[in-house]
Structure formats: C-alpha cells, structure tokens
DNA sequence: TGTACATCAGTGAACGCGCGTTCACTGATGTAC
DNA sequence: TGTACATCAGTGAACGCGCGTTCACTGATGTAC
C-alpha cells in the first residue's frame, strides 16, 4: 500500500503534530510508539520509515510545538501574553498549551539534542516577546531581555507549581491568581 | 533471614531516602523498583513487605524530600534562600536539590495522592519563608505570602528552564544570573 | 532462664505485560523505455 | 501514451528486554510456656 510522496510527507507531519500534543499531555515516557502511531491513525510498524528512533521524534515534536506556541505569541502584547499564559485555561489544557511548561522537567533528563530544541524555543520566545516589553524611554540596552527572562521564569514556574497541586485545590488557583497579579503589576513599574 | 523490628524500620527509611534521591535524579519513570532496591542495598523481592506499590513509594519519597528541603530552608533568610536556590550548584545537583524543581513536571501527571504531597510541601515552604519575607512596616496583611508565592514561582521556573537547556549553554547560565539578580533586587523594593 | 514454635524481613525465580525496534510482506506509486 | 519493473509507505507478526508484581522459601527474631 504505497502512498504518494506528498501524502507520505503529510502523514509524517501529522504524526509529529499528534506526538507534540500527546507528549505534552502524558510526558515522553507516558506514551509508546504504538500509542502515538495509533493516535495518528496508523499502525506502529511504519514508524521507522519516518523517524530513526522515538528520541528523534521527541526532539522533532518538541521543536514543532515550541515553534507553534511562538507563532501564537507573536500576535500578543506582553500583557496579553501574561493573561493567556498565567490562566486556569492554560493550566488545565496541558495538551495544547506551552511545551516549556508541559515538558521542561522531562527535557532536563534527555539528550542535548532535545535540550537544544528547548533552548532554541526559549531563546526565540525571549526575543519575540522581549521586543515588545514595555521599558521606559531611558532604559538600559538589554533591559527588555532581562525583564523578559524573569517574566518567562515566573510564568513557567507559576503554571508548573499550580499543576503539581491536586485538582480543585485552593492553592493551585491561588498561585495562578497571585502570580498573574504580580507579573501584571511589574509590567507598569519601569526601572 | 528475618531482621529485627528496629532494623526493618531503619531499612525502610533507608529505601525511602534512597528513592527520594534517585527519583529526583532520573524521574519517577526513569527508575524501576529493582534499581531502587539495589541502590538501597537490597534485592527487589522485599519491596512489597514495606510498600503497597511503586506509586506509594513515590508519594512517600516526595513527601520525605520536600520535608527535608524545608528543614534546610528554615535556617535561611529569604536572601540566602535565593542565593542557594537560584544557583548553578543547585541546577547541577538535581539529586540532592529541591524536589519541586526536580519533579513537579512529573507530579502534574500523577495521582492526587502524590500531588497532595507536593501541595503540602509548597504550602509549608510558603509559610516558613513567608514569615521571614522583608515587607515594609505598613505592608498589607498577606503581603509577605503574596510576595513569597511569586518568589517561589520565579525560583522554580528559573531552575527548570535552566535545566532544560544543553549543558554548558550560555542561555542556561544567563537565565540563572538574570533571575537571581531580579529576585534579589525585588527584595529591597517594598510595596 | 530455657525450649519450642510462630512470625515475617529479605531472597531470588517467575509471572504477564508493554515497551522500542525489526522484518517479511503488500500493493499503489514512481520511473525507465 | 502505454507497458514493465523498481521503489517504498504502511501493515502486522515477532524479537528481546525490562517493567511492576507475586510467590515459595529461608532463617533469624519474637513470643508463649
């Protein structure tokens, strides 16, 4: 049952897309190659026609979803980014949310290949949002980047701590509400 | 080869202790029951004389290491906490570092039992360090807690993002340095 | 205090199962003439 | 354009392996008399 080159390429992209969602939902170790292929609508045997190993797909799926999140962040102001990111919807929507928040704990234990994908995702996020960071007129050069690094760490930390609490826990919501307020407030304080 | 009650209890504690280190190093899914028991100096068969399941040990080991980190934080000022926490030593010493930073990504996908251990660890950390947070003389009640929640999210986020970057990456060090400076600076700004 | 027996922490073989990966096979697609 | 053949994406059985868990067994500890 050979398939056209265009179809094969589309299928490959569909597998990467599916993997980027399922990995975020269940973690790299929480999904098998067979699960992944079934979720994409295929049988597991064809996997190695597209990828050298599961680890290769992990890196590619991460790069894919990091790039995707970045694309959606491009349309946002820093304030809007905070609203979207530090929210209950984002916390509860791991599968379609930020890859950093969903997988950076796992990434820390993976190959440098995978970590490079994360570093690039982080760097691009810093650049994209850093350009829009509202610094004062007499801000030092690099001020926006510094503020943006701090902001990203706060955002990722807030989501991850909130997700580590039991569902419907008051603490989980408190963390989000407090961090959202503090981050928003820090935006209007120019240094 | 029965062993005295006191010895059995000591052995159990040793297994929990070992597990809390190895889980932080390799993640919950990265270590098997047999590995764990071998690391503690036993064979795997005896595991179920002490624990109902691997998941039970995961929760107990997490609670144990969270309590331990808390104990060492009790001696620190908030400024010292930032120095110790947001550091390269901490980033590179996952096995003996903060359990939140090492495992909160994994915890998000586990049972509410495990998450409860994390929520309690977070709550106690907030209380212990919150009491020492240097707010101004006319600070609103609850101000210290709010600041401490934000500070903890920043600290955890900074370590986790830094760990997700390749070893010896400039970005990994930049994230730590920037967040350390920003957090320290925010300590001296009273609201 | 000494003896006889029950308990149970720890051992190591074994269990079924799911994992990542390989492979012979199929048949539509792509290519050479 | 039509025919013959090579290619290769996708299938599904099979591989060895390590996982969490169970179990019969051992022998020192704990207990009853």
Whole-number average pLDDT of chain A: 96
pLDDT value, residue B190: 58
Q: Which nucleotide's C1' is closest to B46 (Cα)?
A: C10
Question: B49-91 pLDDT, tens per residue?
Answer: 999 999 999 999 999 999 999 999 999 999 999 999 999 999 9
Does the C-beta of A32 come within 7 A of strand C?
Answer: yes
Residue in A closest to B149 by C-alpha? A175
> CA A83 to CA A86: how far, in whole Å?
6
Contact (Cβ atoms closer than 8 angstroms) between residue A86 and residue A159 = yes
Q: Which nucleotide's C1' is closest to A41 (Cα)?
A: D10
> CA B105 to CA B76: how far, in whole Å?
26
Contact (Cβ atoms closer than 8 angstroms) between residue A62 and residue A23 = yes
Taking CB atoms and an 8 Å limit, are A119 and B171 in contact across chains? yes
Predicted confidence band of residue B136 (pLDDT cuts 50, 70, 90): confident
Mean pLDDT of A52-73: 97
Question: B137-177 pLDDT, tens per residue?
Answer: 888 889 999 999 999 999 999 999 999 999 999 999 999 99
**3-state secondary structure (DSSP) of residue B165:** coil
Cα dihedral B61, B66, B69, B75 sign: negative
pTM: 0.95
Is the pLDDT at B34 greater than 70? The verdict is: yes
* Residue for token pair 């597998």: A15
Number of CB pairs, chain A paired with chain B, less than 8 A apart: 157
Contacts of residue B145, defined as CB under 8 A and 6 or more positions apart, other chains included, come to B126, B130, B133
> CA B191 to CA B186: how far, in whole Å?
10
> CA A174 to CA B130: how far, in whole Å?
15
B181: tokens are 């400076």
pLDDT value, residue A139: 86
pLDDT value, residue A136: 84
Cα dihedral A39, A43, A49, A54 sign: positive
Q: Straight-line distance from CA B55 to C1' D28, in Å?
A: 31
Is the pLDDT at B191 greater than 60? The verdict is: no
Taking CB atoms and an 8 Å limit, are B108 and A94 in contact across chains? yes
pLDDT value, residue A190: 58
pLDDT value, residue B186: 95
- In chain A, the percentage of residues whose pLDDT exceeds 90 is 94
């Amino acid at each position: 049952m050979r398939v056209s080159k265009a179809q094969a390429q589309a299928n490959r992209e569909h597998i990467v897309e599916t993997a980027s969602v399922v990995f975020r939902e269940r973690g790299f170790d929480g999904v098998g190659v067979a699960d992944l292929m079934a979720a994409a609508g295929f049988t597991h045997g064809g996997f190695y026609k597209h990828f050298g190993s599961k680890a290769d797909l992990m890196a590619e799926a991460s790069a894919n979803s990091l790039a995707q999140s970045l694309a959606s962040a491009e349309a946002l102001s820093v304030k809007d980014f905070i609203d979207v990111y530090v929210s209950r919807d984002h916390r509860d929507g791991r599968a379609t949310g930020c890859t950093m928040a969903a997988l950076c704990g796992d990434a820390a234990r993976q190959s440098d290949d995978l970590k490079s994908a994360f570093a690039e995702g982080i760097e691009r996020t810093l650049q994209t949002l850093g350009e829009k960071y509202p610094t004062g007129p007499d801000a030092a050069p690099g001020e926006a980047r510094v503020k943006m690094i701090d902001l990203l760490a706060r955002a990722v930390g807030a989501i991850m701590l909130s997700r580590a609490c039991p569902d419907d826990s008051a603490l989980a919501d408190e963390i989000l509400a407090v961090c959202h307020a503090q981050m928003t407030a820090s935006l209007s304080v120019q240094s």
